[in-house]
Amino acid sequence: MSEHRDAPSSTRRDFLRRAGWLGLCAGAQASPWLHAATSSPSAAPLATVRSGRIRGYLDRGVRVFKGIPYGGDTSTRRFMPALREAPWRGVREAIAHGASAPQSGEDQSTSEDCLFLNVFTPALRDNGKRPVLFYIHGGGYNNGSGSSPLYDGVNLCRRGDVVVVTLNHRLNAFGYLYLAELGGTELQQSGNVGQLDLVQALHWVREHVHEFGGDAGNVTVFGQSGGGAKIATLMAMPAAAGLFHRAMTMSGQQVTAAGPRAATQRTRLLLAALQLRADELERLRTLPVARILEAARTRDPSRIEETSLYFGPVLDDRNLYRHPFYPDAPPQSAHIPMIIGNTRDETRAFLGNDPENFNLSWDQLPARLQAQQYTDLLPETVIAEYRRLYPDYTPSQVFFAATTAGRSWRGAVDEAEARARQGAPTWVYQLDWGSPLDGGKFGAFHTLDIPLVFDNIAQPGSRTGTGAAAQRVAGQMSDMLLALARHGEPGHAAIPDWPPYSLQGRETMLFDVPSRVQNDPRGGERRLYQRAPFVQRGTM
C-alpha cells in the first residue's frame, strides 16, 4: 500500500484558511481527560526546542508542529550517524511536513535532509505529564514517511489527552547499506544508521517532550508493517534501551536481522550495478541520489518476486549484537508491555490487486501459491491441509489465507511465543473486521488497522468507510492503544476481558463487531507452517 503526504502550504495564510477552525470532525470524540482550552486562530502556538523557537498552528484545540528538525542534513553524512540539526535564528515556521527520505515511486518531496518529526499536543508547558505516542511509519525499510494524513494525531490527542509524534528517517540504501566489511572506520555503522535515526529522534523526544506537555518517562512506540519491524529491532538495540516504555506492532515483525555476509553480498551487488569497485566507496558517498536508487532496483537473489535489493537492519556487532527475536525475545525489553497485532487478510492488500487471484481454479492454485507463500513447504501439502481445515474455501480463499499465514503472520506468532516463554507482558490481537468497500472483497487487509488505531477513518487514504461499524472498531482499537500508553495494558470497558498471551491459551483479541477473545485462532494454520523454520526474508 502506498504512503500519502499532505501537500505543503504555499503561504501561512493559505494554510491556516485551508486548515479551518472547526469543531469536532466526524469520528473525533472529546475526552474527559482533555483539559486544554481551544485558542483563537490568531494565537498560533510557539514552542522552544534546542535549536530555536518554532511556531505551529491549532487544529480543533490541538497544537500541531510539523517539520521540526531532530538531526542535521545527512547528505554530508551519507552512510554515517547523523549529527544534531543546525540552530536557527528567529522563529521557524512549523506548519508543513519536512522532506521524506530518498525513495523511488513516491509523490512527495524527498531529500537526504530528511530528519524531521511532527508533534501533536493538547497543551504546552503545563506539566501535563501526558503519555507520549511515538509512531514509526511503514513501507518496509524501503519507502514511506511520517506525513500521511492517516497518521494525523489530532483525534488521538482529543480522545486520550496524549502527545503524538510522527517522523521521517533514512531508508533503503541510505539507511541500511552495510559497508563495514569494505569501508573505513567512519562507515562501520552504515548498516543501521536508519535505526540510529530513530534512536536520535527518541532522544529528542526525551529532551523536549516536557515543552509539549508530555512525560518523558512514559513513551509508547507503535508502528505498522515496516514500522513494527523497526520497533522489534529497537527492542534489541542497546542504544535504544530506556528510551521507550511500551510497544505496539501492527503487522510488522523482525525475527532475524541481516547477517553480515548476506548484507555484504547485497552491497557488492549494488556496487556492481553502479560499476564501482569495493575500493571506490568514496565515490559512492557523492553519487547522485537517483543513481543509487536506480541501482538498488537490482534483483535480490533471496527474494525471487522482488525487483529490488533488500536493505534492513544488520547484525553488525556495533549497534545490533543479536537477532531481534531469535533465538529468544530480547532480554533488555522483557519488562516492556507489548501488543503484537496483525490483520486476518494481510495479503489481499497487494495480491488482491491482481483480479486473477480472486478467480483461481484448483489447477492454478499450486503454482500461484508456490511463488507467494514464502515458506518452503510443498504447495500440494498446504492446499490439502487448508481443504481439510476449511472445506468450504474456494481456491482463491485458500490462496489469500495461506499467503497471509506463510508470510508476516508467522513472524508475529514467533515473537508472541518468544515473549510468552520469557514471561514478558504481551497481548495479541487480530483484526477480523473487514473493509465494507469494494463489496468487501479485500477483507481485513494489510494497513486497514492504521486509520482504526488513529481514529482517522474519515481521513484521505482510509478504506474503512465511515459507517457505524467502522467507528465502533476504531473506538475499540484507538482506546486499546491509549489504555496501553496510560496504564501499561490494553484492556478497556468497550472490549471483553483480554488476558495476556500464554503458550497454554494463545489468547487473542479478535477485533470485530462484536469483538471477542479466542484461544489459538487459526491454530491449524499455525501448526502447518511451523513445520518449517522461520527466517525473515532477505536476512540470510
Active site residues: 225, 346, 446
CA dist 103 and 169 (Å) reads 11
Show Cβ contacts of residue 457 under 8 Å, excluding neighbours closer than 6 positions: 27, 451, 464, 465, 466, 470, 471, 474
Q: DSSP labels for 424-468? A: --EEEEEE-----GGGGTT-S-TTTHHHHHTT-TTSTT--S-SSH
Q: 480 and 339 in contact (C-beta within 8 Å)?
A: yes
Name the helix (H) or strand (E) containing 420: helix 408-422
Task: Indicate the SS3 state at residue 49.
Answer: strand
Neighbours of 139 (CB within 10 A): 22
Please list the residues that pair with 58 across neighbouring strands: 63
Q: DSSP labels for 289-306? A: HHHHHHHTTSPPTT-TT-
Q: Which long-range contacts (CB under 8 A, 24 or more apart) does 385-393 make?
A: 385/524, 385/528, 386/525, 389/524, 389/525
Phi, psi values for residue 439, rounded to 5°: 70, 15
**In degrees to the nearest 10, what's the CA dihedral of 76, 82, 83, 87?**
80
CA dist 478 and 38 (Å) reads 23
Grid coordinates of 239 = 542504544
Grid coordinates of 397 = 480463499
First to last CA, the chain: 26
Edge-first strand order for the sheet with 246-250 is 57-59, 62-69, 116-121, 163-167, 130-136, 214-224, 246-250, 338-343, 426-431, 507-511, 516-519
Grid coordinates of 435 = 473493509
Neighbours of 53 (CB within 10 A): 14
Name the helix (H) or strand (E) containing 16: helix 12-19
Q: Are strands 130-136 and 116-121 parallel, antiparallel or unpaired?
A: unpaired
Sign of the dihedral defined by the CA atoms of residues 348, 351, 356, 362, in that order: negative
Q: 414 and 115 in contact (C-beta within 8 Å)?
A: no
Task: Indicate the SS3 state at residue 187.
Answer: helix
Show Cβ contacts of residue 433 under 8 Å, excluding neighbours closer than 6 positions: 444, 469, 473, 511, 512, 513
